[in-house]
Amino acid sequence: MLRKIVIFKGNQIIYKREYGETFSWEAISPLLTSLTYFLEETKEDVAADILNTVFYKIAYSTNKNQGLLYILITDIGDPDEVIAEQIQSFNMAVSKILEGA
């Protein structure tokens, strides 16, 4: 099950939506800030990458052109292929909206 969606622009959260409880901000913040740091440093876009923690999966995808980092947090049982597919689709669809906004 999808639990949380967060969109970063730089180190600012521009959008978030919660469907279920996940980590507290205290627990997850170091990881998220590392990912924003990663976005600054990396030269190429990441289509989809998935990190496994004990109870959840954290998927991320980037759009360097617009400086966006998309994060999906799902249950550990959700299949990687579906998560990867969905985060890429979400990246594309939302980047289009934000381009026009």
Amino acid at 23: F
Contact of 49 with 60, CB cutoff 8 Å = yes
Task: Based on the shown chain and the rule CB under 8 A, indicate whether residue 43 belongs to the binding site for other proteins.
Answer: no
**Least separation in angstroms between CB 78 and other proteins:** 5
Q: Please name the helix (run of DSSP H) or strand (run of DSSP E) that holds residue 97, with its range, or none.
A: helix 80-100
Task: Based on the shown chain and the rule CB under 8 A, indicate whether residue 77 belongs to the binding site for other proteins.
Answer: yes
Distance CA(67)–CA(11), nearest Å, equals 10
Return residues touching other proteins (CB under 8 A).
Answer: 1-3, 5, 7-8, 11-21, 25-26, 29-30, 32-34, 36-37, 47, 54-55, 72, 74-78, 82-83, 85-86, 88-94, 96-98, 101
